[in-house]
Amino acid sequence: MCFATQGTQHVFYQDTGGIIQELWWDGDGWHFSDISTAARAPRSQTPPAAYMFDQQGTQHVIYEGYDDGHMYELWWAP
Residue 6, pLDDT above cutoff 70: no
Per-residue pLDDT tens over the stretch 26-35: 889 999 999 9
**What one-character-per-residue DSSP string does the chain give?**
-EETTTTEEEEEEE-TTS-EEEEEEETTEEEEEEHHHHHTPPPBSS--EEEEETTTTEEEEEEEBTTT--EEEEEE--
What residue ranges do the domains of the chain occupy? Answer: 2-76
Least confident range of 13-17, 46-50, 54-58, 65-69: 54-58
Q: What pLDDT score does 5 carry?
A: 57
Average pLDDT over residues 47-56: 89
pTM: 0.81
